Structure 1
Amino acid sequence: MIVNVTPIEGVAVLDVETREDDRGFFARTFCREEFLAAGLEPAVEQCNLSFNHRGGTLRGMHFQVAPHPEAKLVRCTRGSIEDIVVDMRPGSPTYLQHVSVTLSAENRRAIYVPPYFAHGYQTLEDDTEVTYQVSGSYHPEAERGLRYDDPALGLHWPRDVSVISAKDSSWPLLADRDEKDLWGTEAVAR
């Protein structure tokens, strides 16, 4: 694996390092020791698969708060996506800044999403499939989200949105939320 750091501390883009022969190639996509050496959380408690029928489908922006924050390793295994992560760490010097990267079956890249980062993507073509390795289980009470079109974030999606869930399109704007609504009681008490 080749770990590429980004301008936002903790977010990394991972490329595969292929070993090729007459059969094709072999590449490592995850290694606990390499994750630890790069300062990334290597725990994997859950793996998820997302299939999207139509190009322009948007999923996100999701994250979980204490006591159930989660890190994700996201890879597109069929088709292509524009993946965006937003720094939601209170007090971070890069708070509300984001990293955007194209992930595709062709480039075989992955993005590491640290805890307390909102994550979302838009499919760039029909019949796109995305896999997630997640460091913790899903806890609905800890789930939070951001509006994909919140002007406070300045996110740029490459296509018009063709499909989005009612929940993802109705998250409140940051300007309309208070800290307790966004983080819950435990985080506000910190």
Structure 2
Amino acid sequence: MEIEHLDLPGLMLVTPRVFEDGRGSFSEMFNEREFQRRTGVDFRVVQVNRSVSAQINTIRGLHAQMPPDAQAKLLRVEHGRILDCVVDIRRGSPTYLGSVTVELSDEDDAQLFVPKGFLHGFRTMEPNTRVIYKVDAHYSPQTERSIRFDDVDLGCDWQLVGGEELYLSDKDRDGMAFADLDNAFTYQPVRM
């Protein structure tokens, strides 16, 4: 497993080793013990979700669940390609309100680990894109929050050139402003 730390503390690209032979390939997509040993993060999967987006330029997000139901996520693209945007909303973080965009596709095995305390969303860049999420807390509609993907306070670079037809759910289209969020996240450095 290869771990690449990104520009926001705790945000990582996780790429499993791939073993290939004449039959094809095999990879261990997630190993809890190895992940904890390599990252210092206790990530226990309790739910696995899959989203399927038929259209290019489908935007899902920005989402987070508030404490006590906060979720960390490990996601990968099963089919297609996405531009993922993550925003650090942990008060006291050295990168508070900083954002990172990462392109993920089915052409590699990279997975994005999004810790608790981050907003997360993505834009599809190919039709019929499928994304798999492993999460460490169950879905909680009561504590889920949807922030507008284009909130000017957040600065996500969705790499839109203008004129694209965007596809959003009503929840995302009507998302709240970040300024109105009941933000209970605080930064706690991970010690390894």
Please report the TM-score for the alignment, with normalisation by the length of structure 1: 0.90
Greater Cα shift, 118-127 or 163-172: 163-172
Counting only pairs closer than 5 Å after superposition, residues 138-157 of structure 1 correspond to structure 2 as 138-157=139-158
CA distance in 1, matches of 2:95, 2:146: 18
Residues 118-139 of structure 1: CA distance to partner in whole angstroms, max 9, x if unpaired?
1100100101100000101011
Whole-Å Cα distance in 1 between the matches of residues 166 and 145 of structure 2?
Answer: 23
Report the counterpart of residue 168 of structure 2 in structure 1. 164
Q: How many residues align?
A: 181
What does 1:8-157 align with in structure 2 at a 5 Å threshold? 8-37=8-37, 38-157=39-158
Displacement of 1:161 after TM fit? 4.9
Instruction: Give CA deviations for 1:12-39 in whole Å, capped at 9, x if unaligned.
Output: 0112321111111111110112211212
CA distance in 1, matches of 2:20, 2:55: 33
Change in 2 beyond 3 A, CA 1:70/1:57: same
| DSSP 3-state at the match of 1:132 | strand
Q: Can you give the 5+ residue segments of structure 1 that lack an aligned partner in the other structure?
A: none
- CA shift at 1:2, angstroms? 0.9
Name the CA distance, whole Å, in 1 between partners of 2:165 and 2:136: 29
Kept in 2, the 8 Å contact 1:41–1:71? The answer is: no
Q: Deviations over 1:72-127 (max 9, x none)?
A: 00100001101111111122111111121111111221100101111100100101
Partners of 1:41 and 1:55 lie apart in 2 by 35
Contact between 1:58 and 1:161, CA under 8 Å: does it hold in 2? no
Cα shift readout 1:49-84 (whole Å, capped 9, x = no counterpart): 100100110000000111111100010000110111
Listed as ranges, the gaps of 5+ residues in structure 2 are: 186-192
Judge conservation of contact 2:149–2:172 (CA < 8 Å) in 1: yes
Q: SS of 1:141's equivalent? A: coil
Letter matched to residue 94 of structure 1: T
Cα-Cα RMSD: 1.5
Q: CA deviation at 1:154?
A: 1.1
Q: Where has structure 1 moved over 6 Å in runs of 4 or more?
A: none
Measured in 2, the distance between the counterparts of 1:105 and 1:40 equals 25
State the 1:40 CA deviation. 2.6
- The whole-number CA distance in structure 1 between the counterparts of 2:143 and 2:47 is 16
Q: What letter matches 2:16 in structure 1?
A: V
Q: Sort the Cα spacing of 1:30 and 1:171 in 2 relative to 1 into closer, same or farther, 3 A.
A: same
> In the TM superposition, what is the alpha-carbon distance from 1:174 to its structure 2 partner?
2.6
SS of 2:182's partner is helix
Query: How far has the Cα of 1:158 moved from its partner?
Result: 2.8
**Distance in 2 (alpha carbons) for counterparts of 1:84 and 1:169:** 17
- Residue number in structure 1 paired with 2:189: none
**Cα distance in 2 between the residues matched to 1:23 and 1:108:** 18
Q: Say which is worse superposed, 152-161 or 75-84, in terms of deviation.
A: 152-161
